[in-house]
């Protein structure tokens, strides 16, 4: 029930695929596994503004977080971009080369950037996936990197 409430609360604009939005792209089990605990609601004034539909899952105190923003043809004109491939390339250019690692098996193309592991073998960073005319941008905080990739693979499989 709590998960459904959080999902409904965090579900913002637009439809993603045939689902209701980015919050419906992950299962409760996937979110629990990634966070290591039940997600809690984050006050809207702490999330920031987003142009594209997104969902934020967070642990208590925001110690562990995962956010996915899905950009489609509906949102890209706001960025003066004509297609998802252009946005994917633009995002790739924003990161220093030494912080980028291309990832196989996620969508048409994918890369992770600025994943820096802590002493606890957790990391924060970004994973960007191009798939079916959309760009999914995952932002992770204090996540086990391998679990971040599994989570992203599961979510993008539903785009």
Q: What pLDDT is recorded for position 20?
A: 64
Alpha-carbon gap, residue 12 to 35, rounded angstroms: 21
pTM of structure: 0.85
Instruction: Say if CB 100 and CB 113 are below 8 A apart.
Output: yes
Q: What pLDDT is recorded for position 121?
A: 84
Q: What pLDDT is recorded for position 128?
A: 98
| Top-tier CATH class for 2-156 | alpha beta
48: tokens are: 């920031």
Residue 72's contacts (CB-CB under 8 Å, 6 or more residues apart) are 14, 16, 52, 84, 133, 134
Per-domain residue ranges of the chain: 2-156
Q: What is the pLDDT of residues 27-65, one digit of tens each?
A: 999 999 999 999 999 888 888 778 899 999 999 999 999
- Per-residue confidence band for 11, with pLDDT thresholds at 50, 70 and 90: very low
Question: How large is the average pLDDT for residues 93-121?
Answer: 90
Alpha-carbon gap, residue 41 to 86, rounded angstroms: 33
């Amino acid at each position: 029930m709590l998960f459904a409430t959080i999902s409904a609360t965090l579900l913002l604009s637009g439809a993603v695929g045939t689902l209701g939005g980015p919050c419906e792209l992950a299962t409760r089990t996937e979110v629990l596994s990634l966070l290591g605990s039940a997600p809690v609601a984050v006050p809207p004034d702490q999330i920031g503004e987003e142009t594209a539909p997104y969902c934020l899952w967070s642990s208590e105190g925001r110690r562990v977080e995962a956010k996915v923003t899905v950009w489609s043809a509906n949102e890209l004109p706001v960025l003066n971009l004509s297609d998802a491939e252009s946005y994917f390339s633009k995002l790739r250019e924003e990161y220093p080369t030494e912080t980028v690692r291309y990832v196989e098996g996620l969508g048409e193309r994918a890369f992770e950037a600025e994943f820096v592991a802590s002493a606890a073998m957790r990391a924060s960073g970004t994973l960007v996936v191009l798939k079916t005319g959309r760009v999914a941008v995952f932002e992770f905080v204090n996540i086990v990197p391998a679990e971040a990739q599994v989570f992203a693979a599961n979510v993008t499989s539903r785009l």
